[in-house]
Amino acid sequence: MSRPIYLDCNATTPVDPQVLSAMLPFFTDYFGNPSSLNHSYGWEAEASVGQARKILAEVIAADPVEIVFTSGATEANNLAIKGVAESYMSTGRHLITVQTEHSAVLEPCRYLETLGFEITYLSVQPDGLVELQALADAFRPDTILVSVMTANNEIGVLQPIKKIGEMCRERGVLFHTDAAQAVGKIPLNVDKMHIDLLSMTAHKLYGPKGIGALYVRRKNPRVQISPQLHGGGQERGIRSGTLYPPQIVGFGEAVRLAVAEMETETQRLKSLRDRLWQHLQAIPGIYLNGHPTRRLPNNLNISFDGIDGNALLLEIRDAIAISSGSACSSLKAAPSHVIQSLGRSHDQAKATLRFGLGRHTSLEEIERAATIVRQAVRSQRQTATEIAV
């Protein structure tokens, strides 16, 4: 039996063969500890880490020394939010974020609330975009940080990051963005966008799981951040722990490949995504979630009327590997907080599909997937009608 069509690339991606090839020697031949600077094994490892750090810095127009390696975007988000809160609590205890953020941002914010910090959770417009006037109104004299995701992991919406960064800079407030879904897919420039902290991860762009990074601005302004892990003082004391060269090398190679292919891959994925939507929007009672154009080129998120979402996923799961929302919350019974924030009903939020196209997605797979979903929706509605009768 053939494996399902994989359309869940916003959850994770396979490691690219070139990435794996770059990683393999660092498991066996170049196995040194990057902190062991007294012999050639350590020098080799340190040089490979430095090269990857340079690649990551270049993709966001930063300085390599501003890149701090972490275990992934979740740790990077926690380090940014908790680290700033601890460092600047004497200045203020108010933070601003958005209701549609990933749980790796929302949960650290909720944790800070238990410590006496105040968090403003901005709502979004029906298209998923933050209303800039609402953000402007939310600033307070004691606001120390704004955290807004660059590209939403469920609906793919691209927030006006440059404008948000400008608003923060004008008020002397630090700006953090979770760019896990955006790095290697859209152009990013931390200076032009006035970003002070930026989280990223490798497994969303054909790199290995378990490795990420946090950009921490060093000047204009110099961001102070309290470490969340204490130990040997690696990563300038911001994130202690022995660095893992195979993963770091893989991360760098994945970013290098993504940037090299960004322009052509963006157009290819957008064409396939639009083709899929063209097929599916013929289904009655279907809704597009998120802004129609200001979104990631590979993302399509839709909701249905009159469908049991769980039954729909069960019917198509052997043919299409797809999700109803964030992989991190797929075990929860509650519908997506992101979809409900757009104004969808509880039932519509439960009857939601997120398509994440990828590097290996073909036109033939898109055509097949569209046919499978149309048939499944028709079948589910027919079943619901028969039960009602």
Query: Active-site residue numbers?
Result: 328
Spacing of C-alpha 52 from chain mean position:
20
| List of residues 6+ apart from 76 with CB closer than 8 A | 68, 70, 178, 199, 200, 201, 212, 213, 214
- The span from the first CA to the last CA of the chain, in angstroms, equals 37
| List of residues 6+ apart from 254 with CB closer than 8 A | 15, 16, 19, 184, 202, 205, 206, 207, 208
Q: Concatenated DSSP letters for 158-218?
A: B--HHHHHHHHHHHT-EEEEE-TTTTTTS---TTTTT-SEEEEESTTTTS-TT-EEEEE--
Contact between 87 and 112 under an 8 Å Cβ cutoff? The reply is: no
DSSP code for 356: E
Q: Is 347 exposed, middle or buried (0-12, 13-18, 19+ CB in 10 A)?
A: middle
Strand partners, 177: 198
360-378 in b/e form (b: 16+ CB < 10 A) is: ebeeebbeebbebbeebbe
DSSP code for 40: H
Contact between 325 and 351 under an 8 Å Cβ cutoff? The reply is: no
C-alpha to C-alpha distance for 229 and 111, rounded to whole angstroms: 17
